[in-house]
Amino acid sequence: MPQLLLLALLLAAGQGWAQNVLQPLQAQAAGQQSVEGSLDWTTGVLTVYGEGVVSPDIQNPAQRRLMGFRAAKAVAYRNLLELVGQVHIDATTTVGEAMVASDSIRTRVSGLVRGARLVPESQQEKDGVYQVALTLDLTENLAATLLPAVRRPVPAATPTPTYTPPRTYTGLIIDARGLPLKPSMAPRLLSAGGNELFSANGVDLAYVRRWGVVGYDRDLERASHSDRLGGAAAQPLIIKAAETSGQYGADVVISNEDAVRVQMADQHAPFLAQCRVVFVLGPAPAR
């Protein structure tokens, strides 16, 4: 594991981010060089690392430092393009597959990668090896580029039995703890009967750019008061997931009874179109 990756994970734990949904990423680049990074699904940030060296013929310290970090940054950009391809857009498609299928998407994603941000204070030098870290947000422009490719016409709503919510809910939490749910940029929420209750279809892209389609967390209490769901005044509807679905296991299935509760709560005070949905992952809670 690169020194920067280890340092980032230790820093995250030390700053209270241990409950964030973190996904290590690894790929084998050209020349059999291992490329590593991490994806924080809770903050929606992909972080990658690059290392560079300088010819021993260059002796001037200032010039060595400039060229060393420039080389490391160039490697980090290549690594970012490699690793962003592994991110799941939904339960059937990765960013890499979307880039292969569309030259337009490949061009736009490549442009966003070139605009990635340098992590403050990530520039390090050890034993002549220069290291930097770059970050790329999954929301904003990346979401606007990728999600239209997986949006489909919204099917006609299925009539539901009458149900009056006991309160006005400000959002939805799906408790998927104990299930092998894999995060994606645009998961679906399905009923046991196969009806699509929530997905990238029908949501307002302005909210997708701000929040992402769903949020991910490992802390149910923190998720219950997240800004996405209304902050301190949040009143989320909490539903237990029954199982996962989809090729990559990124979709969530709930019971038909709970599906009715979600639909009627959203009709009473719409929150789904505003992406006010959080999936909570992790081990099953102790009984």
DSSP string, 173-199: EEE-TTS-----SS--EEETTS-EEES
Q: What is the model's pTM?
A: 0.87
| Beta-sheet pairing, 22-28 with 34-40 | antiparallel
Q: Which helix (H) or strand (E) holds 137?
A: strand 129-137
Residue-level pLDDT at 12: 46
- Buried-exposed string 110-136: b where 16+ CB fall within 10 A, e elsewhere: eebbeebeebeebbbeeeeebbbbbbb
Residue-level pLDDT at 160: 57
Which residues of 61-110 form beta strands (DSSP E)? none
Average pLDDT for consecutive 10-residue bins of the chain (287 residues)? Answer: 48 57 84 82 94 88 90 94 94 94 95 93 90 93 84 57 79 97 96 94 88 96 96 96 95 96 93 96 89
Residue-level pLDDT at 287: 75
Question: Long-range contacts: 64-73, Cβ < 8 Å, 24+?
Answer: 65/125, 65/130, 68/125, 68/130, 69/123, 69/130, 69/132, 71/130, 72/123, 72/130, 72/131, 72/132, 73/118, 73/132, 73/134
Residue-level pLDDT at 121: 86
Q: 3-state DSSP call for residue 224?
A: helix
pLDDT tens track for 168-190: 999 999 999 999 999 999 999 99
Residue-level pLDDT at 256: 95
Q: Which helix (H) or strand (E) holds 2?
A: none
| Beta-sheet pairing, 117-118 with 243-245 | unpaired
Residue-level pLDDT at 110: 96
